[in-house]
Chain A
Amino acid sequence: MRLRARRPGAGSWRGFALPGIVWLVLFTVVPAYALLAMAFGKENFLLEPVPAWNPGTWNVGFLFQAISGAVPGGEFWPSVRNTIVYVAASLVLCFVIGYPVAYYVARHARRTKALLIVLLVIPFWVSYLLRMLAWIGLLASDGYVNKVLSGLGVAHPPNWLNGNAYSVILALVYGYIPYFILPVFAGLDRIDRHQIEAARDLGATPFSAFLHVTLPLSRPALLAGSALVVLPMFGDYYTNDLISGSPRTNMLGNEINLFVQGGPQKNLGACLVVVMMAILLVAMAYYVLQTARDTRRFA
């Protein structure tokens, strides 16, 4: 017997959600609006930025300055270019390193599988700052990396920690690859082994079964893993500060951080955040479209 009359209405469940929703509105929606108000604000007679709370009075001057600075030739272009190049290179490395690892643990590891999963999860929970600290020690001019290099006969080992783009990319991959491997592993682990066996029974070589069955089926997981690393890498500034410390390798996050925390031009910082979100929205739209397509195809 179902007691319909005693079931709570939508109202009481909404009441449960209410405190959390109020919290999220106050501390994500209103701040997002404050960001826009600052980006579209003006300057007072002391040249201090003042936010414009009324959208009717919004001024696009600073946003225009930020956008024209962010295109090739502009003052922020080197940072935008670095961001795109570093994130793209790191993403490629995540695929090259992360996919085989996730693939092996999901599909081939047997007795060692539980151990391997634990080992893959540990970096996830080791403080990001400690992991950067570790590389600062290893890449120091008298550190172990250069000791190994001079042992191998390299006469002048490079200076890794002063504006070296390769170190920044290495650190980004090192920092974020756990966020890539875990969802890709979970996706590969869910693939039904029988589908691959069927392909093999029908005459596919192991490689062609991989190419035509496993790889297409792992696309959604690869997309999710990519989103999980691209989003935080785009806004990263501390990896760069710690590993490079030089304006030569500045990323968009560094520019934003300098404007907002370092100087008086908080409005330009806010405009650059808007520019960054615009770039990310394009990437996220692509992600949503592809995921929707995959869901239709595999559902």
Chain B
Amino acid sequence: MRWERPRTLVAVTWAYIAWALVPVGVAILFSFNAGRSRSVWQGFSLRWWTGDPTLSILHDPDYSHALVHSLTLAGLDMAIATPLGVLLAIGLARWRGRGSGAANGLMLVPLVTPEIVMAVSLLLVFTQLSIVPFTLVHLGTTAQVVGQVTFSLSYVVVIVRGRLASIGGHYEEAARDLGATTFGALRLVLLPLLAPAILASMLIVFALSIDDFVVTQYMSSNAGTTTIPMYLYSNARGGTTTPALNALATILVFVTLLGVGIAFLAYRFFGRWTQTGAESNALRELSGLGTT
């Protein structure tokens, strides 16, 4: 059968892609503008990156503070949400019985709630409810991390559960048949098999955290807890803002795309590697354990 090449669809698709990407490219290009304008091109320069002694992103401390705070939050979010989410994914995938349905539903709540609802609720609980543990969470870095972990957790669970489903239970069963304890099988067989998914979800959490605006803004306290997206929000419309803002946004985009790109490559690379190497290695190691 002949599948004709649909010219209109080709045109629509490439027009869409141009529409989606060209404005981003233009915004990045404007970080190299020689003049102050963010809408009129006045020639190429590195003025807003490094050249200007006070207003460039290299020399204006506001920008580096925002960048450092964004990276700090992303690091903390990764460090907390990843282990919590991996354990939750393993637990939810295996635990059958009363309460498991409710727990599965609960895990989906952050994915289907508009962010502003979550942000308002968290703000109210941290400012109005005076019982432990809510009194321990102060607006600022702590509350920002708590908020970010709360919405990142579900993504980790979704990614890790997908991998768990594709691994199946056979490898662990084999390990147990060879004499491993449940936790031995988990540590020696399941965790190495999950490694690509864990790495991928870490980097996705990093990207989610770096890009988040609503929850991070609601949980912030003062100028010291400003992140890059918050800085972009409060200065994007200002008449006095320079193309250094575009440079800051460019850094944000490259950091995010780098994280996602590494996640993607790692997932593909380790995914292939574990299927051939780690599984048989772990099983060989365990069979040794079983005989001694």
Residues on A facing B (Cβ under 8 Å): 1-3, 6-8, 10, 12-21, 23-32, 34-35, 37-38, 51, 53, 97, 100-101, 103-105, 108-109, 116, 119-120, 122-123, 125-138, 140, 142-144, 161, 174, 177-178, 197, 200, 206, 227, 231-232, 234-238, 241-242, 245, 253, 256-257, 260-261, 266, 269-270, 273, 276-277, 280, 284
Residues from chain A with a CB closer than 8 A to the CB of B214 are 235, 238
Say yes or no for B13: interface residue by CB 8 A criterion.
yes
B13 with A116: CB separation less than 8 A = yes
Residues from chain B with a CB closer than 8 A to the CB of A257 are 116
A21 to B102, CA, bound (A): 10
CB < 8 Å: which of A1, A8, A14, A227 contacts B177?
A1
A130 with B114: CB separation less than 8 A = no
Say yes or no for B109: interface residue by CB 8 A criterion.
yes
A261 with B91: CB separation less than 8 A = no
A16 with B129: CB separation less than 8 A = no
CB < 8 Å: which of B37, B91, B150 contacts A16?
B91
Say yes or no for B30: interface residue by CB 8 A criterion.
yes
Instruction: Give, as a whole number of angstroms, the nearest-CB distance from B57 to chain A.
Output: 14
Instruction: Give, as a whole number of angstroms, the nearest-CB distance from B55 to chain A.
Output: 17
We find that the number of chain B residues with CB closer than 8 angstroms to chain A is 91
Instruction: Give, as a whole number of angstroms, the nearest-CB distance from B276 to chain A.
Output: 23
CB < 8 Å: which of A100, A127, A138, A140 contacts B249?
A127
Residues from chain A with a CB closer than 8 A to the CB of B21 are 119, 122-123
B115 with A232: CB separation less than 8 A = yes
Can you identify 22 A-B contacts, CB atoms within 8 angstroms? A6-B182, A13-B90, A13-B94, A16-B90, A16-B95, A20-B88, A23-B150, A26-B134, A51-B128, A104-B9, A130-B252, A131-B27, A133-B27, A134-B24, A137-B30, A138-B39, A140-B38, A143-B40, A174-B20, A197-B1, A238-B214, A242-B236
A129 to B66, CA, bound (A): 14
A43 to B250, CA, bound (A): 46
Say yes or no for B171: interface residue by CB 8 A criterion.
no
Say yes or no for B202: interface residue by CB 8 A criterion.
no
Most chain B CB within 10 A, of A3, A16, A25, A261, is at A16
Say yes or no for B256: interface residue by CB 8 A criterion.
yes
A119 to B21, CA, bound (A): 8
Q: Contacts A18-B91, A142-B37 hold; do A10 and B97 have CB atoms under 8 A apart?
A: yes
Residues from chain B with a CB closer than 8 A to the CB of A138 are 23, 26, 39
Residues from chain A with a CB closer than 8 A to the CB of B211 are 125, 127-129
A24 to B105, CA, bound (A): 11
B90 with A104: CB separation less than 8 A = no
Say yes or no for B146: interface residue by CB 8 A criterion.
yes
Residues from chain A with a CB closer than 8 A to the CB of B16 are 97, 101
Most chain B CB within 10 A, of A24, A31, A37, A38, is at A31
Most chain A CB within 10 A, of B120, B133, B218, B249, is at B120
Most chain B CB within 10 A, of A19, A53, A129, A143, is at A129
CB < 8 Å: which of B3, B5, B24 contacts A131?
B24
A122 to B246, CA, bound (A): 18
> Which 9 A-B pairs have CB atoms at the shortest separation, nearest pair first?
A17-B91, A235-B114, A20-B88, A16-B91, A31-B121, A134-B27, A140-B39, A13-B95, A134-B23
